[in-house]
Amino acid sequence: MSVASGKRGVQALNESLHAIFAERDDVVLFGEDVLDPYGGAFKVTAGLSDAYPDRVLTTPISEASLFGVAAGMALRGQRPILEIMFGDFVALGLDQVVNGISKFREMYDDQVTVPLVVRAPMGARRGYGPTHSQSLEKLLLGIPNVVVVAASECHDVGALLAAAVEDERPVFFVENKLLYGRTIRRPEDGHIGELAVRESGGFYPALTFSATGFGEGSATVVTYGGMLPIVLEAVTELVLEHEIFCEVVALSQLVPMELDAVLESVSRTGALVTAEEGTLTGGFGAEIAARMQEAAWSDLRAPVRRVAARDGIIPSARPLEDAMLPSVEDVVDAVMSLEASR
């Protein structure tokens, strides 16, 4: 199910779904408007209901219940994949996540598992406005016993989705909307473009990029999902215009948080910037900063810097949206600010 470079994200995900359906007949996908010929709001499920009419269900607009329906199916040995049309609507299902899906296994003393996947398109930069553009991952990061996976254009996104379906734990699978139209760029001969790349093991690998072939670097930028291309662009700009050489760690498993790749990178660079598309407070970067100062205080020469969206709404008008969201320049500035401490 490995996805070669060159496909668009939506195609990679779609092909993965077809392969998953061919392999396991206990997988059921449901969500709003997922039937052919429409094939889902972002066309990720195209062709699936034609091929598997009994296993693809279009639903009422009832997210709060659909999370529970998925939970009930998973409790009884099915492998539901719930497509949420816009990740913003995950908010409607949070009771099920907080008080059911994430709790059943542990509070029932391991008598049950809840192997479900919620696919949630997140992210902005398309002018969809305040309620159709958010990156709400941070609402999920603090919930014990769920897995949050975020695909990036440099990951094998199809393999990530297949791993999520095989997982016995509930998995949130975050698809940044821009990923759908982007071209997948997998490492070839240990490189993506000019950057050397290493991929960790595990079902949800971390990618580490280095501008120096894993020699000494100035800073590490840790990010995920739709922020990766922005961070990579910033890293390229830092090399070309400022002769500053960074490493980038792109996580695909956001929680349970495993920071081995970040620790290893920071041991070479001595400084850390976090970059996320969600709003700043209480987010991905905040948790990483807290963990890194506990685990790698002696490796850090400067406080961890966070790059994130401003704490506010995502406006609809594109110039206003751009001003609110983290940019290439924000990442460049954060890394530059750490140079003073060298």
Binding flag, residue 21, other proteins (CB under 8 A) = no
Select 75 or 179, whichever has its Cβ closest to other proteins.
75
Q: Which stretch binds other proteins (CB under 8 A): 40-48, 108-116, 195-203, 261-269?
A: 108-116
Site map (CB under 8 A) of other proteins, residues 262-301, x = contact:
----------------------------------------
Which residue among 6, 53, 62, 240 contacts other proteins (CB under 8 A)? 62
CB of 63 to other proteins, least distance (A): 9
- Does 112 contact other proteins by CB under 8 A? yes
Known active-site residue 191? no
Smaller CB separation from other proteins, 27 or 44 = 27
Pick the closer one to other proteins by CB: 75 or 120: 75
Residues 74 to 93 in contact with other proteins, rule: CB under 8 A: 74-78, 80
Could you tell me which stretch among 44-52, 68-76, 130-138, 263-271 binds other proteins (CB under 8 A)?
68-76
Distances (CA, A) of 89 to 15, 121, 123, 310: 25, 10, 12, 21
User: Which of 36, 38, 72, 299 is the binder for other proteins (CB under 8 A)?
Assistant: 72
The stretch near other proteins (CB under 8 A) out of 69-77, 210-218, 247-255, 330-338 is 69-77
Kindly list the strands in the beta sheet with 253-255, ordered across the sheet, starting from the edge strand earlier in the chain: 56-58, 27-31, 79-83, 117-122, 171-176, 147-150, 253-255
Residue 57 is a binding residue for other proteins (CB under 8 A): yes
CA distances from 282 to 121, 139, 223, 302 (A): 21, 9, 15, 21
Figure out which of the listed residues 66, 174, 211, 308 binds other proteins, where binding follows CB under 8 A. 66
Q: Which is closer to other proteins, CB of 59 or CB of 236?
A: 59
Pick from 64, 240, 290, 317 the residue near other proteins by CB under 8 A.
64
The reply on whether position 104 binds other proteins by CB under 8 A is yes
The one catalytic residue among 132, 155, 191, 242? 132
Does 73 help bind other proteins (rule: CB under 8 A)? yes
The span from the first CA to the last CA of the chain, in angstroms, equals 44
Q: How far is the CB of 107 from other proteins (least distance, A)?
A: 5
Which positions lie near other proteins, rule CB under 8 A? Answer: 28, 57, 59-60, 62, 64-78, 80, 95-96, 99-100, 103-104, 106-109, 111-112
Where in the sequence numbering do the catalytic residues fall? 132
